[in-house]
A and B are shown apart, each in its own frame.
Chain A
Amino acid sequence: MLSRVADTIYWLARYMDRTQAMLQVIRTHYHASQDSPHEFSWRPLLYSYGGSLTLEEVAALERNTPRVLERLLLDKDNPTSVYNNVLQARENARAVQDHITQEVWQCLNSFYHAIRGGEILEQIRFGDPISGIDGLMRHGLVFLGAVQNTMPRDESYGYLNLGKQLERALQTTDTLRIQWANMTTQAQPDTEIPQLRYLVHSLSGQELYLKTYRGNFNPDSVLQFVLHNAYFTHSLRSCLSRLSWYFERLKSDSLPESHEQLAFLIGRLANQVKYSDVSARNAQQLDEFLLHIRKELLGIATALGKNYLGRS
């Protein structure tokens, strides 16, 4: 397969997974803004997904929820908006139409037309933003289903999954780190911290968490859950183990030395996560650990780019 095609497919998957992650975080944040408006701020999200906003712009925006949502979801001038993610994903798909199935192309195309249409804007401004966001997320889910059900299990499928798992691991690491830093962890040990609930929600893990820990939201369990739970599709452990699994399948289509180098990086990181003993009590240690994971993930992305995707 051409390196450029692999690169385009890999980024297509990354944009799509990023879109889903962002939508879930924004959705959870919107919920929080309705639940506890006093302790709530849009500020962290505006910093992460708002594009390059000045302090004044952030201050002007942050109290106006519909405008914040518009900025994060639909703003064409915000390079990190959901709109631009979808646009990029679709442009990528257009460039490699002969390597993805008609179904995958069509659902990306209809996602693009949905986010361009006026209905979602109406819902943000005057209706129920949650319905709007849910509508967009459904398009993302249809995409995942189309990939799963229609793509042949060839190299294209492999690069789609590498992109998806790598992006997901990055999103989990970032969401965990940013939301942990904004948490009021100094609260009394036996009172529940609401942000923990939002954190698990942001990673789409609420149902599994409730079942696993019987509704007991405490920092240690949440950290354990997000890092190590093998059944949770967004946990670092499962992202990395699937990353490694899909990567192994590419072995026969790789140069031996390229494969060996990547396999080493992925394996090392998976083990670092598996045998980590960071504690929820030590916020600084956790932050350093997560930054290290992030660096390693980016290292994998760079090595993949160099060895497989023709980037120098």
Chain B
Amino acid sequence: MKENSLLTAYQEQPNIWDEMFHANRIRPEYRNFVAAIENLPNAELARKDELARKLFMSQGVTFTVYSSGEGIEKIFPFDIIPRIIQHAEWLHIEAGITQRLKALNLFLKDIYHEQFILKDGLIPATLIYSCPQFLREMMNVKVPHDIYTHIAGVDLIRDSDGQFYVLEDNLRTPSGVSYMLENRSITSRLYPDLLPKNNVQPVRKYPELLFRNLLDLAERHVSAPTVVLLSPGIYNSAYYEHAALARLMGIELVQGSDLVVNNHYVYMKTTKGLQQVDVIYRRVDDEFLDPLVFRPDSALGVPGIYAAYRKGNVAIVNAMGNGVADDKAVYCYVPDMIRYYLGEEPILKSVPTYQMSDPDLRKMVFERMDKMVIKKTNESGGYGMLIGSSATEQQMQEFREAITQDPRSFIAQPIISLSSTPCYLNGVLQPRRVDLRPYALYGPRGIDIVPGGLTRVALQEGSLVVNSSQGGGSKDTWVLGPEN
């Protein structure tokens, strides 16, 4: 199968699932794509790589790194070889995420109301009450349509057995969806005709679906409710995404200072006076949302917005207090939640997770730390994490001390070897590790998952960290349609 030099040079790695190759043969979902590129002269791929870079730069798809007081705009590294997922596999992922999201949403409703799951002893109450993201302010707050997790970006990884595992649920303000849309539009320019020929399912409906869901949440009986996107502002690293989503949905992009609360209603300040706001898609974290209730020093939020929300005068997306459901120590109870609330067996697997507050497990983890990933329960973005296989003895010792001092804030998981996929780097195909983040939208009409997602790549050789803040990049993700 491998005749082209580009492909023959590619080395599959032992004990790692490769997305494109299996025992030196090309997997069926990639055959069409490989057939289209294998006869291209090598210079052509280099040209495509260059074209992708130019398109990203000229369209201003950047994230901003602020150093020495001056903003430097960087492009999010993009790899031109798409990651391809079979239709049947996608149906499995879709069903798994839908099930998980339903259960997590019921969990949030339960935990902020009757707390049956605690009373039935499935989850220890101390675990919930010691979670900093559990907001007492959300107790008995009625949220529109009982939906908390309107937007979720579920991180999936594939282990060497070829199975997908859920790594994180990201139920607060998941980002990256604009890159999913951008990557697709760039790929369609790089490989003319290949998308339709491969029967790749489109992702462009995402903004439409999101906007429809946001409109559905408006309580006021007016023909055109006001929906806004609340951003922390241009200094936020994801500002590009905020602006892009607002533009794609045709809604106002606002900052905290644009909004004002009067008599428990939220208004935006316009040149024509105050205009009532019905739905807020916020990209500001809970703790900064309302300085009267949460962090008093927050300049990003809107004083009084919590009270307006509690009264039901404004819908906020995602709901406040979701962090308790994606706490890494609560994560290991999600399979139990699925059984408890839905009476079903989990479709997607979870990574085995050890609570460090359990002394026996702690002892076990300390003994074989080199085979573990240690994570802080309330951090994300690849921070506060130790990968045992590549850590020094000193780093491990530091983590042991930190864990002993505050065991509740840590969990350990066995190292999952993320699957790898070919990336076009320095003119050759090289294996790099990837994960997958599909975006699920939960609205009053149900759950929609756009077929695709963001495939993040760890661009460092051998690295398992895919986060953009830690030197990660991304690829377009093709979900193939049903075969006919």
Contact = CB atoms under 8 A, between A and B. Distances in A.
Given A2-B252, A2-B258, A4-B255, A98 B246 contact: yes
Interface string A274-312: 000000000000000000000000000000000011100
Nearest to A97: B243
B273 interface: yes
B221 interface: no
Contacts of B246: 98
Given A2-B254, A4-B257, A95 B271 contact: no
A95 B233 contact: yes
Contacts of A98: 243, 246-247, 253
Given A94-B234, A95-B234, A253 B255 contact: no
Interface in A229-259: 250, 253-255
A91 B71 CA distance: 10
A3 B233 contact: no
B220 interface: no
Given A91-B234, A94-B234, A98-B253, A3 B270 contact: yes
B74 interface: no
A83 B412 CA distance: 51
A253 B272 contact: yes
B374 interface: no
Contacts of A310: 258, 269
A155 interface: yes
B106 interface: no
A254 B271 contact: yes
B268 interface: yes
Contacts of B272: 1, 253-255
Nearest to B273: A255
Query: Which of B233, B252, B255, B272 gathers the greatest number of chain A CB atoms within 10 Å?
Result: B272
A255 B275 CA distance: 12
Contacts of A250: 271
B269 A2 contact: yes
Contacts of A155: 271
Contacts of B247: 98
A232 to B, nearest CB: 31
Interface string A84-99: 0000000100110110
Contact of B270 (A1, A94, A95, A97): A1
Nearest to B260: A310
B247 to A, nearest CB: 5
A3 B269 contact: yes
Query: Which of A1, A254, A310 gathers the greatest number of chain B CB atoms within 10 Å?
Result: A310
A2 B270 contact: yes
B243 A1 contact: no
Contacts of B234: 91, 94-95
A253 B271 CA distance: 7
Contacts of A196: none
Given A94-B234, A98-B243, A98-B247, A2 B273 contact: no
Interface string B232-275: 01100000000100110000111101100000000011111100
B203 to A, nearest CB: 21
B271 A3 contact: yes
B271 A4 contact: no
Interface in A107-139: none
A16 interface: no
A155 B271 CA distance: 9
Interface in A52-110: 91, 94-95, 97-98, 105
B269 A4 contact: yes
A255 B67 CA distance: 42
Contacts of A105: 60
A105 B58 CA distance: 11
A4 B258 contact: yes
A259 B342 CA distance: 59
Given A91-B234, A255-B273, A2 B268 contact: yes
A6 interface: yes
A182 B257 CA distance: 44
Nearest to A94: B234
Given A4-B258, A98-B243, A308-B271, 16 more contacts: A1-B270, A2-B252, A2-B254, A2-B268, A2-B269, A2-B271, A4-B254, A4-B257, A4-B269, A97-B60, A97-B243, A98-B246, A98-B247, A98-B253, A105-B60, A250-B271
30 contacts: A1-B270, A1-B271, A1-B272, A2-B252, A2-B254, A2-B258, A2-B268, A2-B269, A2-B271, A3-B270, A3-B271, A4-B255, A4-B257, A4-B258, A4-B269, A91-B234, A94-B234, A95-B233, A97-B243, A98-B243, A98-B246, A98-B247, A105-B60, A250-B271, A253-B272, A254-B271, A254-B272, A255-B273, A308-B271, A309-B271
Interface of B: 60, 233-234, 243, 246-247, 252-255, 257-258, 268-273
Nearest 10 CB-CB pairings of A with B: A3-B269, A310-B269, A95-B234, A308-B271, A98-B247, A6-B271, A255-B273, A4-B258, A1-B271, A2-B258
